[in-house]
Amino acid sequence: MAPQRGSDILLITHARASYTRLSLPRLLETCPEDSRVWVWHNGQDRDVLDVIDDHRSHPRFYRFHHALENVGLRPAINWLWTEAEGTFVSKVDDDSLMQHGWIEALSEALLKSDSFGVLGAWRFEPEDWNEELASRKIVTHHGVTLLRNHWVQGSGHLFRRRLVDEFGTLKSKQSFPGWCLEVARHGYVNGWPLPVMREEHLDDPRHPLTAFKNEAAYQAARPLSALQSGAATLDDWLNRTREDAVEVQSASLDLRQYFGWRPRLRHARRRVRRVVSRRNYGH
C-alpha cells in the first residue's frame, strides 16, 4: 500500500458537549481533502458521544477511539503519533475553533525547509499581541517570517510526522512543550508564522462563546491546564492566559536557559516564591 500523504489531526474530547458541537464540525470543515481527523474520547459522556456520532459520516472523519475512563492526553497523542502515516500530524483541543486555511498555511511554511520543526496557530486574543516584545523574536527563515519560540501550545500546531521517528513519542510526565524543546535543541526552528493563523480558544474568559461566564461556571468545570497551573479563580485563569501570551513573546531563545543547571535554579526560585505567597495569604 502506498504511504498516505496530507495531514492526520487528532481531536480529544471528554465531557464538554457544548464545545464539541462547535469544535468538531469546525475542524472537519477546515481540513483539506487529503486530511484525516482522528477522534479520541475519554470517559462516557453520552452527550459528547452523540455529537461525535453525528459527524462520523463526514469524509474527513477517519478513526475513532473510545477510552472508557479518562486516561488523559498522552495515550491519545501517542496513539496518533504511532499509527498516523501522513506527512504531517497535529492535535486540536475540543475548546479550539480553527481558522479556515490553517493547515494549508502551516504546511506551506513547513515545506519551505526541512529545518522547520513545530509551527502553530495563534490561540491568544489580538489584544495579547505585544509588538515591543514580539519584534525582538520575529525572524525570517527560508522565506517564512515567524515569531520564533522554542515551543508552541499543545493544540493547533503542525509538524512532520518523521519528527516522531527522530524524537519518539511523549514520555511519562513529558509535556508537548517539553517535546518541542527537545526538537529545538537539535536545531529545528519552531514558532508561529506571520501573519498568524487564529485558533480561537473557547476557554479564554474573554471569548464570546466561552463556558466561563461567571465564577460558578468556572468552578464547576475548571480545565485541566487551570488545575495544573493553580488558577483557583476565574480571575486567576484570565491572568494566567495573559501571562502565557507574554511568556511566549518574551521567552529566551538561548537554549541553555532550558537545559542543565539554569532551569533547575529557576524552578527552585519559583518554588520558594510559591511558598512565600502561600504564607502571605494564609494558605
CB 7 within 8 A of CB 107: yes
- Provide mean pLDDT across the span 17-40: 98
pLDDT digits (tens, 9 = 90+) for 170-214: 999 999 999 999 999 999 999 999 999 999 999 999 999 999 999
pLDDT digits (tens, 9 = 90+) for 239-262: 999 999 999 999 999 999 998 755
Instruction: Kindly report each contact of residues 21-27 with a partner whose C-beta sits within 8 Å and lies 24 or more positions away, as own/partner.
Output: 21/51, 22/97, 22/202, 22/209, 23/92, 23/93, 23/94, 23/95, 23/96, 23/97, 23/202, 24/51, 24/52, 24/55, 24/94, 25/55, 26/97, 26/98, 27/92, 27/98
Residue 187's pLDDT is 98
Enumerate the domain spans of the chain: 7-200
User: Which residues have CB under 8 Å from 74's CB, separation 6+?
Assistant: 170, 172, 174
Residue 279's pLDDT is 30
The mean pLDDT value of the chain amounts to 92
Report whether pLDDT(2) > 80.
no
0.85 exceeded by pTM: yes
pLDDT digits (tens, 9 = 90+) for 137-161: 999 999 999 999 999 999 999 999 9
Residue 274's pLDDT is 36
Report whether pLDDT(4) > 60.
yes
- Provide mean pLDDT across the span 217-222: 95
CATH level 3 topology of 7-200: Spore Coat Polysaccharide Biosynthesis Protein SpsA; Chain A (3.90.550)
Question: In the structure, what pLDDT confidence band is assigned to residue 276 with cuts at 50, 70 and 90?
Answer: very low
